[in-house]
Amino acid sequence: MTLAATPRTDRTNPSGASASSVVVGVGALSFADVIAVARHKARVTLDPASLEQVGATRTIIDALAADTEPHYGISTGFGALATTFITADRRAQLQASLVRSHAAGSGPEVEREVVRALMLLRLSTLMTGRTGVRPATAETYAAVLNAQITPVVHEYGSLGCSGDLAPLAHCALVVMGEGQARDAAGALLGGDEALKAAGIKPVVLAEKEGLALINGTDGMLGMLVLALDDLARLLVTADIAAAMSVEALLGTDAVFAADLQQLRPQLGQADSAANLRRLLHGSGLLASHAGPEDTSVQDAYSLRCAPQVHGAARDTAAHAALVAGRELASAIDNPVVTVGGRVMSNGNFHGAPLGYVLDFLAIASADVASMSERRTDRHLDASRSKGLPPFLAHEVGVDSGLMIAQYTAAGIVSELKRLAAPASVDSIPSSAMQEDHVSMGWHAARKLRRSLDGLGRVLAIEIMTAARSLDLRAPLTPAAATGAVRDLVRTVAAGPGHDRFLSPEIERVVALVASGAVRLAAGSGLV
């Protein structure tokens, strides 16, 4: 599963920045750029030519600011107060007041990687030259990112229209030397203290800049890009888990044949089936019951239809990546400075395109997890496991085996089904009915993050369960790929034996899934 973004324009790399440095300019950031900065602390470098364009656009804003006629966002109030003229001596206060009032989030802190992603994406829009900010403001955003300063952003506050106002306002507040932030070590500081420690001068906002810093879909877009990165790993992991279960449950790989998949040319399905064929190649377990005497003509759907479900999730992710790529190529602000120099109000900040796909991914995540849990349950049911002991217990009647591990998976799946209920169909009007339809895209993104965490846990439980089943099938041997994953699991979780404290073992296998170690152990060539 590969991800690609549609560029705003062709982007060069004049600074020769390496993978540890990301160039931000007129061109669209790639998915890899966002991941590098958000998750791997890559530094940000501003493209000099793009910075010149930012300065050129600012001259348009300065000219309008000097005009005696009111211009929205420059010499007027905002939202329902858009017709109120503000005199020049009050405009700095106007911009600062806008940010302070909109930094009204509540609840737990949002994860550092999310805040870094949304700050980077806002900086990317600033660098298009379509927002009218001063070059120094963009430079300060880059400096904050490079100093590993993370503004405190809260769980609640965004309705996804006009973009992610409250989360972005909390970031802008720190750039102003106010609010709260975490430093590189995670210590909580005042915004002024964090900037001073890093040698960064706070920004005093000029006309239009307050609006430019908070009008964008950057939070929901950042979380979408992060989610797609997670899904690229989790969907391959789902194939690995399914392959281990097919082997351990004495299923058949005949249904994954390429000619059968070609009868239904769904792209994701073909990729998933190819993964399963590669993973199961050379399996002694499958060979042990292959041939005319094999009674496994039709395995249960959770085994036989894995490529269809995992593939549909892949296709959903591919569609979401297409939408995300277009959004990465966007310059979202209100008002916006057009290429022709007009300053125009618009509705591009509405989060519907992102909200829809974020919700769609939560549906796919829940379904992949649901199928995984059903496979786990089959391992534990002696009437369906083809000879394995009840609950894979060491001493039946005394030991409970992995019975309650399946309970845990089932509880998570139930939660994922609730999280699959779409947020984007809801709307609560705000701003005196000026913003009378909102996207709730931020909420769709927040629940997707929880959903993907749950999916990883459910897959880990299946992998741990299938590994024990494979052990119990000895002396029959698994395929090289699935055997390698079983061996990896054995480095953090013991094999069959009397009951023991399971929770730490589950968490250690969850960590193997989250780190990508499971995917790596399965070998190359998986897509």
The closest of 251, 244, 249, 248 to 275, measured between CA atoms, is 244
Mean pLDDT of 109-132: 97
How is the beta sheet containing 180-182 ordered, strand by strand? 150-151, 180-182, 188-190
- Residue-wise pLDDT for 133-189, tens only, equals 999 999 999 999 999 999 999 999 888 887 899 999 999 999 999 999 999 999 999
pLDDT score at 296: 63
Across 58-62, 174-178, 240-244, 406-410, least confident range: 58-62
Identity of the residue numbered 28:
A
Q: Could you tell me if 179 and 170 are in contact, meaning their C-beta atoms sit under 8 angstroms apart? A: yes
- Place 12 in a pLDDT band, splitting at 50, 70 and 90: very low
Residue 18 has pLDDT above 60, yes or no: no
Mean pLDDT of 363-383: 97
Residue 310 has pLDDT above 50, yes or no: yes
- The residues pairing with 154 across neighbouring beta strands, listed in sequence order, are 109
Mean pLDDT of 464-475: 98
Cβ atoms < 10 Å from Cβ of 502: 18
Cβ atoms < 10 Å from Cβ of 423: 21
Question: What is the C-alpha to C-alpha distance for residues 228 and 316, in angstroms, rounded to an integer?
Answer: 10
Q: Cβ-count burial of 330 within 10 angstroms (0-12 exposed, 13-18 middle, 19+ buried)?
A: buried
Mean pLDDT of 213-224: 96
Indicate left, alpha or beta for 298 from its phi (over 0: left) and psi (-120 to 50: alpha): beta
Cis peptide before 106 (omega within 30 of 0): no
| Catalytically annotated residues | 72
Identity of the residue numbered 244:
M
Instruction: Identify the three-state secondary structure at position 175.
Output: helix
Question: What is the C-alpha to C-alpha distance for residues 442 and 394, in angstroms, rounded to an integer?
Answer: 47
Q: Could you tell me if 180 and 87 are in contact, meaning their C-beta atoms sit under 8 angstroms apart? A: no
pLDDT score at 7: 44
The closest of 503, 426, 491, 490 to 457, measured between CA atoms, is 503
